[in-house]
Structure 1
Amino acid sequence: MPAIPSLISMMTQLIASPSISCSQAHWDQSNKGVIQLLEGWLSSQGFQCEVMPLPDQPTKFNLIATLGSGDGGLVLSGHTDTVPYDEDRWKSNPFSLEERDQKLYGLGSCDMKGFFAIVIDTVQKMQLSNLKQPLIILATADEESSMSGARALAEQGSLKARYALIGEPTSLTPIHAHKGIMMERIKVTGQSGHSSNPALGNNAMDAMHSVMSELMTFRTQLKNQYSDANFVIDYPTMNFGCIHGGDNPNRICGRCELEFDLRALPGMSNQALMAEIAQLLPSIEEKTGTTIQLSSLFPDIPSFYTPIESDIIKACETLTKRKASTVAFATEGPFLNQMGMETLILGPGSIDQAHQPNEFMALNQIQPMQEVIRGLIERFCLQTNE
């Protein structure tokens, strides 16, 4: 097989290919350059590569690269996009890999372009001509914004395997669960008027006060009803993130909007929570004479949970010598689970560096991650019994 670049060279090229995903159009970019690099390297190693444009997003792509065949096997998964960046707060060019103090700096170095370089460097050094089950490398689009890449795969059902590892930065700790997240908006429409006479209008801010009171009561009920000791914050949370209403002190507020998030524990249904919130609003509408609308800012992300007794969790606990834990941030894990795979989150680098100026991956994370990857491939792709 033809030689591929060194790990550092691959990482350099991936970081030099901008692939920001963002809900704001002026930031949003295609991930085509990153996908083309990965496809070229993996094809040279014998992988069968399928590049899949996202529905209704012709500039965004998923990549499924498969070596071997069978109905089991292992997926090594990562996302190709990064978040936006604050150029004035970086000490070096975000798109140029720079090594300083035993750390590799660059946008996406740990979250999570560096993971792909580590995977490909590991795989090309292994003897994989006699796979018993397939090895699949998955690269997705838009994880940092809509997760539309993973959603499309789940809807299409186009990925078949038994086990999956998502290489998000966890400082090499196996993660078997995280909370879901919903981001919602409540809009109250009343009637503006001169503030000297309340009867001339219908104050949307007054009605929003009632809405927030009901939500705070509901929040307390959730906290009292649900708990999971596996999480540092062991109950569902609801945060009122921003509120906007009115335009002048001497005008009755005609419209008020509240945006909030809700993070549910594994086992809780986002749809059921939305339905319960919706049921709180009609009585407030009737009492206040306003119109109240509930809508989602973004599609919700389900909670993620893989039983701690699962084979891949146990294998990674053995390989890392660390007990599986939980995290607060969301991943593509629930979408891979929906496709029937036992999934865990485990990767090099720290989430503390992700989404930050001067993002880096420490060099001492690379070799231990390669050992985990080799161990999983040997266990789930090379051995005859899974």
Structure 2
Amino acid sequence: MHIPDLQTQLQQLVAAPSVSSHSARWDMSNKPVIELLEQWLSELGFTTEVLQVGDSEKYNLVATLGSGPGGLVLAGHTDTVPFDDQLWQSDPFKLTERDNRWYGLGSTDMKGFFPVAIEAAKSFVGTPLQQPLIILATADEESSMSGARALAESGYPKARYAVIGEPTGLKPIRMHKGMMMEAVEIEGHSGHSSNPALGNNAMESMHQVIQGLMDFRQQLGKQYQNPLFTVPTPTLNLGCIHGGDNPNRICGHCELQFDLRALPGMDNDELRARIDRQLQQIAEQNQVQIKRKTLFGGVPAFEQEGQSELVKTAERLTGHDAECVAFATEAPFLQQLGMETIVMGPGSIDQAHQPDEFIPLDQIRPAVEILKQLIQKFCL
């Protein structure tokens, strides 16, 4: 058996570009990363399955050691966000060590988790497992979460427990907000600005839409609160707006994009329905066409019960009480597969999506040891 050591694995993973983006200029396949992981895990004795996501050039990997109805999933995504290499002090695709850190695109978010998981799994190769150990690598978490969605829709893989290795400073996370990104498009009627009666100003209708969304945000803040979150209420951010083409023309088209982050217990589809009812009233009042469209499928809010076995075990192993975060992960989709799920991995989310992204070396070995103890408990 010959697979690279942990550092060399991460070097090779970082060197394999796998950017996912809504922009075709940036978006690329994650197949090179999947092929590396599949090769190493096959050599360790895992049964591997590479699953194409729809008809895209994106792939999931399910690697299984042992068999049985329960077991533990160690999961991560293989893609990274786009980058600006001019802002980096070193090559984003070359793992660089300095200041007791490993720098590189995806080093902490989250290619670094895979060598850690593989290192932990090495200790159990040749050991008869009572329940399977599954290492799961997904596609497109950073843009659409299409990889995790496809798995949830297919009902595969099945296990009892799941750890998603997003960077949390090795603190267990049992709750996070959901996320939805929406656009509102208004079609009015353009005309010469000297006579407002010649047109129907889409920007003026958008003014009412914006006020309505701000009022809606205030209603949600009164209706839903969770003091465990740093920001204890749902958030709604007006992100960008485009409209019109000239000062002396009545604005005929206007578009607003916003995101909404819901608390556990709130439903994204219900929120969309409430927004739609408000938009319909404004459209009828102003005699304009208003259309809301979902920019991507959204992520449900996530909560794992605090007294669940996985949460209590992770708290005991790490010495940290489980926390909650505002950023979204693939956790709801694994939970839909019937698994107790937490988010926990080395590194800090503060480094994610940043130039000079890094993973601290002093968290590598503790992460390996925590995963080994989880495998020991849930697979042996």
TM-score normalised to the size of structure 1? 0.97
Report the identity percentage.
59
Instruction: Give the C-alpha shift of residue 252 in structure 1.
Output: 1.1
Aligned-partner Cα distance in 2 for 1:245–1:98: 45
Aligned-partner Cα distance in 2 for 1:190–1:48: 58
CA displacement, residues 249-297 of structure 1 (integer Å, 9 cap, x when unaligned) = 1111111111111110001000000000000122211211111111111
Aligned-partner Cα distance in 2 for 1:377–1:282: 53
Aligned-partner Cα distance in 2 for 1:337–1:244: 38
Equivalent residue number for residue 49 of structure 1: 48
Instruction: Give the C-alpha shift of residue 211 in structure 1.
Output: 1.3
Aligned-partner Cα distance in 2 for 1:130–1:356: 42
Instruction: Give the C-alpha shift of residue 26 in structure 1.
Output: 1.5
Could you say if the C-alpha distance between residues 128 and 328 of structure 1 is closer, same or farther in structure 2, counting changes exceeding 3 Å?
A: farther
Aligned-partner Cα distance in 1 for 2:276–2:125: 56
Equivalent residue number for residue 167 of structure 1: 165
Instruction: Give the C-alpha shift of residue 12 in structure 1.
Output: 0.7
In the alignment, structure 1 residue 155 sits paired with structure 2 residue 153: yes
Gaps of 5+ in 1: none
Residue identity opposite 1:172 in structure 2: L
Instruction: Give the C-alpha shift of residue 360 in structure 1.
Output: 0.6
Aligned-partner Cα distance in 2 for 1:248–1:4: 62
Instruction: Give the C-alpha shift of residue 128 in structure 1.
Output: 4.8
Q: Any idea what SS the aligned residue of 1:165 has?
A: strand
Equivalent residue number for residue 207 of structure 1: 205
The answer to whether the 8 A contact 2:144-2:296 is kept is yes
Equivalent residue number for residue 255 of structure 1: 253
Instruction: Give the C-alpha shift of residue 244 in structure 1.
Output: 1.1
Equivalent residue number for residue 325 of structure 1: 323
Equivalent residue number for residue 35 of structure 1: 34
Aligned-partner Cα distance in 1 for 2:126–2:112: 22
The answer to whether the 8 A contact 2:45-2:125 is kept is no
Output aligned runs, 1:131-142, within 5 Å.
131-142=129-140
Residue identity opposite 2:24 in structure 1: A
Aligned-partner Cα distance in 2 for 1:324–1:105: 28
Aligned-partner Cα distance in 2 for 1:12–1:92: 14
Q: Any idea what SS the aligned residue of 1:297 has?
A: strand
Equivalent residue number for residue 372 of structure 2: 374
Residue identity opposite 2:159 in structure 1: A
Equivalent residue number for residue 2 of structure 2: 3
Aligned-partner Cα distance in 1 for 2:126–2:197: 78
Residue identity opposite 2:33 in structure 1: V
Aligned-partner Cα distance in 2 for 1:138–1:372: 18
In the alignment, structure 1 residue 309 sits paired with structure 2 residue 294: no
Aligned-partner Cα distance in 2 for 1:204–1:328: 34
Equivalent residue number for residue 286 of structure 1: 284
Aligned-partner Cα distance in 2 for 1:224–1:370: 43
Aligned-partner Cα distance in 2 for 1:282–1:14: 49
Aligned-partner Cα distance in 1 for 2:280–2:135: 49
Gaps of 5+ in 2: none
Residue identity opposite 1:306 in structure 2: Q
Aligned-partner Cα distance in 1 for 2:366–2:298: 34
CA displacement, residues 180-217 of structure 1 (integer Å, 9 cap, x when unaligned) = 01101111111111111111111111111111121111
Match of 1:186 among 184, 191, 204: 184
Larger mean CA deviation between 351-360 and 206-215 belongs to 206-215
Residue identity opposite 2:102 in structure 1: L
Aligned-partner Cα distance in 2 for 1:374–1:162: 17
Instruction: Give the C-alpha shift of residue 125 in structure 1.
Output: 3.0
C-alpha RMSD of the superposition = 0.9
In the alignment, structure 1 residue 76 sits paired with structure 2 residue 104: no
CA displacement, residues 83-137 of structure 1 (integer Å, 9 cap, x when unaligned) = 1111001111111111111101111111111110111112113355211100000
Aligned-partner Cα distance in 2 for 1:252–1:219: 29
Q: Any idea what SS the aligned residue of 1:209 has?
A: helix
Aligned-partner Cα distance in 1 for 2:19–2:258: 25
Aligned-partner Cα distance in 1 for 2:340–2:209: 40
Equivalent residue number for residue 228 of structure 2: 230
Aligned-partner Cα distance in 2 for 1:69–1:127: 13
